[in-house]
Amino acid sequence: MDGKAFVETYGGVFEHSPFIAERAVAAGTIAEPLTADAVHGALVMVFRAASDEERLGILNAHPDLAGKLAIAGELTEDSRHEQAGAGLDRLSAAEHARFTELNNAYVEKFGFPFIIAVKGLNKDDILAAFERRIRNGRDEEFTTACAQVERIALLRLKSLLPGD
């Protein structure tokens, strides 16, 4: 697969951030055969080497959970499937109000949206994590959110590529 095709196919694994795939290709770290773990390792190396400002941009590219984009139907296909799989598209009015309250408080405190790999979780698991993590300090939460972004990328790659 050439570099352009790689970026077109895997450039969205890190939400709205094709520069991660572009840099991995430019660094020569992408090699056939492509496997989820190998591609993830190459992309994560680039993500971790990115500046704090660039990583913050990637965090901010993620939508709020059960937020305005979900209501408006404007999530990426991956995000829509992930949130629906956790039941976030079927919240009661009270649950939606709680998510909105937490989303707003979290963004106000940390300057980026709450990010969690929702695969295998339900709305109660996510709310519990939300309520626990909002008590963290900013540095701890930035590190946690980045780790969650890496997990989301791995889960997305596993749906596209074979494992090692």
- Cβ atoms of residues 136 and 129 within 8 Å: no
145 and 69 belong to one structural domain: yes
pLDDT of residue 69: 42
Q: Between 163 and 93, whose confidence is greater?
A: 93
76 and 126 belong to one structural domain: yes
44 and 98 belong to one structural domain: no
* Cα angle value 59/139/149 (rounded, 5°): 30
- 33-47, 77-91, 134-148: segment of lowest average pLDDT: 77-91
Q: Give the residue numbers annotated as catalytic, written as ranges.
A: 62
Give the global pTM: 0.89
> Does residue 116 lie in a domain region?
yes
Task: Please state the rounded mean pLDDT for residues 107-133.
Answer: 94
pLDDT of residue 91: 83
Structural domain of residue 19, as residue ranges?
3-55
Which of the residue ranges 99-103, 117-121, 137-141 has the most confident prediction, judged by mean pLDDT? 137-141
68 and 144 belong to one structural domain: yes
